[in-house]
Amino acid sequence: MPIDLTYSPEVTALVERTREFVRTEVLPVEDGHHGDITAAGGDEMRKHLQAAAKAAGVFAPHAPIEYGGLGLGMSDRAPVFEEAGYSLFGPTALNIAAPDEGNVHMLAHVASAEQKQRFLAPLAAGDIRSAFAMTEPAPGAGSDPAALRTRAERVGGDWRINGRKWFITGADGADFLIVMARTSGEPGQRGGATMFLVPADTAGVRIGRHIGTLDKSMIGGHCEVDFEDVVVPDEAVLGAADRGYEYAQVRLGPARMTHVMRWLGAARRAHDVAVDHVAQREGFGGRIGDLGMVQKMVADNEIDIAATRALLLRACWELDAGEAASDSTSIAKTFAAEAIFRIVDRSVQMCGGLGVSEDLPLARLSREVRPFRIYDGPSEVHRWAIAKRRIGAAKRALAAGAR
């Protein structure tokens, strides 16, 4: 059976509309504020851009149709999200930025009908924002989620949550948080986690300082969040108790791939800027784009872009088929995070002094894409997981052969 890498006319048209919208409506805003979403106006600018995206027919391509979205599967999202990511503000404009995009995906798959009406519907519409509260200061959960220390205990028919989180993206201004808390077992043990839907105005929830980071394009910052005797009803449990890690996988694999899609768009912009520069910049008796060393960097960028797309589409195909896609998403995420940084870094190099200046977007793109090698799992953790699964399979095969 032949492999079809084409998209439907509807998706192709959406890609074109997204490209036009991002380049005419969104890029000028990003460039005018050097990629700093807070300087651009924060939530007010978000609302303005999202209204424009709705008018252009490109808003919420990932959200279920019954909640006002376009209902695209993972494979069809890839070219649309990539075009949105061509601007650092593009994902915010389309309501496909982290963490809201991943939370929409998980709520659509896990939430009850009542929870969907209360939380998913306004989130998909862009009426509110959300956060995903998982990461904790040491020795709590970080790259190792089993280290989870935030705890939720039964109090009558309610739950009482105590703990501290940090690096919680979008927490400042979020309407609600999806909070991962331990409901059984001890830190270091697998399992025993539960997700809770916690309105941000619940007594005991305190949004603390913004942790300064390299990236400036994610609205709501990366915050410290404290939960002190936060009481929520049983209806706040997302899914079922003690199954939080299982539900997290519903979110994590697809969210890693949508990160790849968005950042690939940013890398493409960096590459386009650099190629335009070397095609016209004169030096050493000709155009510097005719120099072999520069041509190697251009070619390596093209290779990294193509390879990232190929690995991404394979992982998306598996996810659309209902597979766990653990290996393919880890492979695609790890390769992409490193390749995207290489693409932007080479682009900076090709543009020389301009590359590190604010006259071009390359310096801010370099800052924005660097954290991707840490966000959604450091490259080293993904490599460890890939190797562990492969060696484990080999051990099981050897043991079976011995029998």
72-122, pLDDT tens digit by residue? 999 999 999 999 999 999 999 999 999 999 999 999 999 999 999 999 999
Give 209-246 pLDDT, tens digit per residue: 999 999 999 999 999 999 999 999 999 999 999 999 99
212 and 120 both lie in a single domain: no
pLDDT in tens, 163-184: 999 999 999 999 999 999 999 9
Structure tokens at 186: 């001890």
In a domain, 1, yes or no: no
Helix, strand, coil distribution of the chain in percent, nearest 5: 55, 15, 30
Are the CB atoms for 37 and 106 separated by under 8 Å?
A: no
CATH number for the domain harbouring residue 223? 2.40.110.10
Q: Is the same domain home to 190 and 255?
A: no
Spatial contact of 194 and 242, defined as CB atoms under 8 Å apart: yes
Q: Are 372 and 341 in contact (CB under 8 A)?
A: yes
**Which of residues 242, 263, 280 is at a domain's end?**
242
Expressed in angstroms, the distance from the first to the final Cα of the chain is 37
Within this chain, do residues 88 and 141 fall inside the same structural domain, yes or no?
no
- Flag whether 4 is in a domain: no
Question: Do residues 181 and 289 share a domain?
Answer: no
Q: How confident is the model at residue 403 (pLDDT cuts 50, 70, 90)?
A: low
Q: Give the domain extent around 304.
A: 245-402
Domain termination site, one of 242, 269, 295: 242
Residues 164 and 305 grouped into a single domain:
no
Q: Among 244, 257, 246, which residue's Cα sits nearest to residue 325?
A: 257
In degrees rounded to 5, what are phi and psi of residue 185?
Answer: 75, -175
Out of 101, 125, 149, a domain closes at 125
- Residue 219 forms part of a structural domain: yes
Buried-state track 360-385, b at ≥16 Cβ within 10 A, e below 16: bbbbbbbbbbbbbbbbbbebebbeee
- How many domains in the chain? 3
pLDDT digits (tens, 9 = 90+) for 273-304: 999 999 999 999 999 999 999 999 999 999 99
**Residue length of the chain:** 403
Residues 263 and 391 in one domain: yes
